[in-house]
Amino acid sequence: MDINSVGIVGSGTMGLGMAQTMAQHGVNVTLVKATPGSTDKAQATLKKSLERAVSKGALREEELEGVLGRVAFTDQLDPLADCSLIVESIIEDLETKQDLFRKLCKIVPAETILATNTSTLSVTALMSVCEARARVAGLHFFNPVPLMSLAEVIHAFETSDVVVTALVNFCRRIGKEPVVVQDTTGFIVNRLLTPYILNAIRLLEQGTGTIGDIDKAMRLGASHPMGPFALADYIGLDVVNAMAQNIYEDVRQQYTATPHTLTRLVLLGYLGRKTGKGFYDYTQQPAIPNPDLARPVA
C-alpha cells in the first residue's frame, strides 16, 4: 500500500508542522483550512518556518521554493479525493471530528487511509462513524513536528495490519521513528506526559518549589529539554487541560485530576505562549514566571 499524496485537514500548528515535514521529504500535500476562509496566514506561517529551517541549516535555501510548491492550500475537502492518506488535525472535539470523518468517507474511495492526529480522543470512536473501518488509524505527531522524531501509529479496534504497516513505512519515509500503540486514551506519550505536568503543578501548589526551580530541576536533573511549566506553556494550557480531562474521564484516578491552578489559568484565557501568558509571562524579555502564581493557592 503506497502513500503518494497526503491530505491534511486543519492548518494549525500541528497541521502545518506535518505539512512541512512531509513536503521536506518529497511528499505532495493538500492542506485544508478546516474553517472556511483565506489560507494566507497558514501559507505565511509555513514560509516563515521554512526560512527558520534555512537559517538553522536544516534546509538548503535553493530547496525552499520546491518544498513550498509541494503544499497546496485550500478551504475545501473535495480536493482530497485523490489522496492516499488523509490526516485530520482539527479541534479536539469528538463530535466535530466524527462529523469530518463522515464527510471524508463520502468524498474518498474506501481504500484511502483515514488517520487522526488526536492527542487523547478515542480513535475507535472516530472509526465507529465509518463503514470501511479497517482503513481508520491514529497517526500522532509531536510539537514542533519538524523537530520531534517520534510518531505514534495507533492500531484501533478494526484497523488492518496492512494499514498499520503502511503508516509505519510512511513515518520512516518522512524521517520519523514510529511506535505502534493500541488505542488507549493518551496513547503512550500523552498518557505519561500529562500526569507529569499535572504533578508539577501540584508541587507548585504545595510550595515545594518555584516555577523556575521546578523547571530547572527537570532540565538539569533529568536532562529534559524544557521543564514541565515551559513545556505546558509550549503545548498550550487549553490542550493540557483537555488532555487531563480526557485521561481523567477514562482512568478516574486522582493523579489525573486537573489542579485548580490549571483550571484558573484556562478560565482566564492564560493559555501559555500563544496568548503571551501562562505559567510564564512572555510579554517580558526574557520571559519571567507569572507573578500571579507566586502567591499561595487558596
Residue 100 near ligand 3HC by CB under 6 A: no
Structural contact between residues 11 and 42, judged by C-beta atoms closer than 8 angstroms: yes
Taking CB under 6 A as the rule, which mask of x and - marks residues 59-98 in contact with ligand 3HC?
----------------------------------------
Per DSSP (E only), the strands in 27-103 are: 28-32, 71-74, 85-88
Q: 274: which 3 cell numbers?
A: 500563544
- Binder among 239, 244, 262, 293 for ligand 3HC (CB under 6 A): 239
Cell of 226: 524544557
Candidates 11, 49, 84, 152; catalytic one:
152
Q: What are phi and psi of 185, to 5 degrees?
A: -55, 120
CA nearest 90: which of 70, 68, 75? 75
Residue 53 touches ligand 3HC, criterion: CB under 6 A: yes
Among 11, 140, 241, 290, the active-site one is 140
Q: Which three cell numbers stand for residue 235?
A: 503545548
Active site residue 152: yes
**DSSP result, 170-182:** HHHHTT-EEEEEE
Residues 119, 159, 185, 258: which binds ligand 3HC (CB under 6 A)? 119
CA-to-CA distance for 133 and 129, rounded, in angstroms? 9
| DSSP 8-state code for residue 80 | G
Binding of residue 122 to ligand 3HC (CB under 6 A): no
Catalytic site residue from 11, 49, 117, 190: 190
**CB under 6 A: which stretch of 31-39, 47-55, 71-79, 245-253 binds ligand 3HC?**
47-55
Q: Provide the annotated active-site residues.
A: 119, 140, 152, 190
Q: Which chain residues interact with ligand 3HC by CB under 6 A?
A: 49, 52-53, 56-58, 119, 142-144, 146-148, 190, 193, 225-226, 231, 235, 239
